[in-house]
A and B are shown apart, each in its own frame.
Chain A
Amino acid sequence: MERKNEFEKIKQEYRNVQMDEKEFASYEKAVKNAASKGRGAVVKISMGAAAAVFAVFLILPNISPEIAYAMEKMPILGNLVSVVTFRDYQYDSGRHMADVKVPQIVVDDTEGEKDRGTLEKTKKTAEEINREIEKISEELIQEFKENAKDQEGYQDIMIQSEVINSTEEYFTLKLICYQGAGSGAQWDYFYTMNLDTGERMALSDFFQEGADYKKAISENIKKQMKEQMAADENVAYWVDNKDIPEWNFETITDETGFYINEKGEIVIAFNEGDVAPMYMGCVEFVIETSAVEDILKK
């Protein structure tokens, strides 16, 4: 039974194949990471080809507001408000990379145009938004620093911002956060501010009082999701999903990100994994005017 012995040999060889320590470490980390983050945050730790760790440390200290003010200034919005880079944190050790530019809204009535009340309101709103941005950034940076202690890991974070200036009345500051370790995840935050009154704007501010704008918007989003899925089989949203109904998108909330585009249309923005599988990325929906024109404030 020569063949039988040969077979036993092949079976042994097969069963001897195992992950080595390094491979298992990478696998275990990925699994534990994913299991603790819950749905939507799938982080794959890549073994990578680069074994060499070139330690190039580039850590710029926190820039104080005074210095930042003098440095990078984004265009002034409404002569009163500008967005500056408040904190610039750079780190590159080869395995761990951070490129963080935390924005801050600065209020400076250089023209002396605004009345006292509006000025105060504007400053207060700016402070509130700045605090939120700082909290988010701080958390991400702290997590990064913790993970950077691990010699074997890989990660990379990025924070940057963009001003989406729609009209002379209001603008939106978009905070883009990216965290990656192999494959990555992105979160966008939107802060909309009224330049006339200095007030922070919520989605409800654009609609008539008592109108069920959330429903109108959500229904329009579901409609668009279905249309896109029907047109392209690579597009997937969590709507009408029979396998995992609890993930299906139902309605936008007070926290849902939004901004107004140049055409004055409302754009609803979702983060990765919120309403669709991660590979779809951060998705946005321009709300069709027809769906909301009846209830818009005018």
Chain B
Amino acid sequence: MKSRKRKLVEHILLLDYNKYYRMVVSCVKSREDALDIVQSGALKAIGNCASLKKEAYAGTWIYRIMMNEMYRFLDKSKESPIDEVEERGAEDVYGDIDLRQALELLPLKDKVIIELRFFEDMTFEDIAEITGEPLSTVKSRLYRSLKKLRLTLE
């Protein structure tokens, strides 16, 4: 006998899995690790589905669990936590390297926002929900990153 929330979560997990998977692959660079992370995230989402407050937000709720799982994994494999590492003087360097490298040089959280916005076509509101950051922060991060990448995509 499945609860409604559990059914909903299961349904979304079986529909949107590639979205989580490709995001995680892009950040952890390993398909095997990404699969592990997404699987753990899925099990956590199912296990905790009772704490999902509004069913309409199930999509972003699951996404957030996936991101947390990913950050937890990355935290474990680095000595220092994923923090804001502001590159000094990197702004000038970006013009000379290709875009792919420039994207990789962004602080992880900024890269994630770029990908959510432009690769997943998400609204700022949804991005704010997923990252747990205020709308204004999300926007300023995005614009700062675009400047670094010398892009005018907006």
The answer to whether A and B belong to the same complex is yes
- B-binding residues in A (CB < 8 A): 3-4, 6-7, 10-11, 14-15, 17-19, 23-24, 26-28, 30-32, 34-36, 38-39, 42, 44-45, 47, 243-244, 246-247, 278
Given A7-B151, A34-B46; A15-B99 close (CB under 8 Å): no
Smallest CB separation, B106 vs chain A (Å) = 13
A14:B119 contact, CB within 8 angstroms: yes
Given A39-B50, A44-B40; A23-B151 close (CB under 8 Å): no
- Is B144 interfacial (CB 8 A cutoff)? no
Closest B-chain residue to A30, C-beta based? Answer: B39
Kindly specify which of B17-25, B76-84, B126-134 makes contact with the partner chain. B17-25
Chain A residues near B38 (CB-CB < 8 A): 27
The 5 closest A-B pairs by CB, nearest first: A17-B22, A35-B10, A6-B99, A243-B51, A34-B46
Closest B-chain residue to A24, C-beta based? Answer: B17
What are 24 pairs between A and B in contact, CB < 8 Å? A3-B150, A6-B98, A6-B99, A6-B100, A10-B100, A14-B22, A14-B115, A17-B22, A18-B18, A19-B17, A23-B31, A23-B35, A26-B35, A30-B39, A31-B10, A31-B13, A34-B43, A35-B2, A36-B2, A38-B6, A47-B32, A244-B48, A247-B50, A278-B47
Chain A residues near B85 (CB-CB < 8 A): none
- A-binding residues in B (CB < 8 A): 2, 6-7, 9-10, 13-14, 17-18, 21-22, 25-26, 31-32, 35, 38-40, 42-43, 46-48, 50-51, 98-100, 103, 115, 118-119, 149-151, 153
A3:B35 contact, CB within 8 angstroms: no
C-alpha spacing A29/B106, complex, angstroms:
36
Closest A-chain residue to B35, C-beta based? Answer: A23
Partner of A35, one of B46, B103, B151: B46
Chain A residues near B51 (CB-CB < 8 A): 243-244
C-alpha spacing A27/B43, complex, angstroms:
10
B46:A47 contact, CB within 8 angstroms: no
A30:B43 contact, CB within 8 angstroms: yes
The residue in B7, B9, B13, B40 that gathers the most chain A C-beta atoms within 10 A of its C-beta is: B13
A34:B99 contact, CB within 8 angstroms: no
Can you name 19 extra interface pairs (CB under 8 A) apart from A10-B100, A45-B39?
A3-B149, A3-B151, A4-B153, A7-B99, A7-B118, A7-B153, A15-B22, A18-B22, A19-B18, A27-B38, A28-B14, A30-B39, A31-B10, A34-B47, A35-B6, A42-B43, A44-B40, A243-B48, A244-B51
A31:B42 contact, CB within 8 angstroms: yes
The residue in A11, A30, A34 that gathers the most chain B C-beta atoms within 10 A of its C-beta is: A34
B47:A17 contact, CB within 8 angstroms: no
C-alpha spacing A3/B151, complex, angstroms:
7
C-alpha spacing A246/B5, complex, angstroms:
14
A18:B21 contact, CB within 8 angstroms: yes
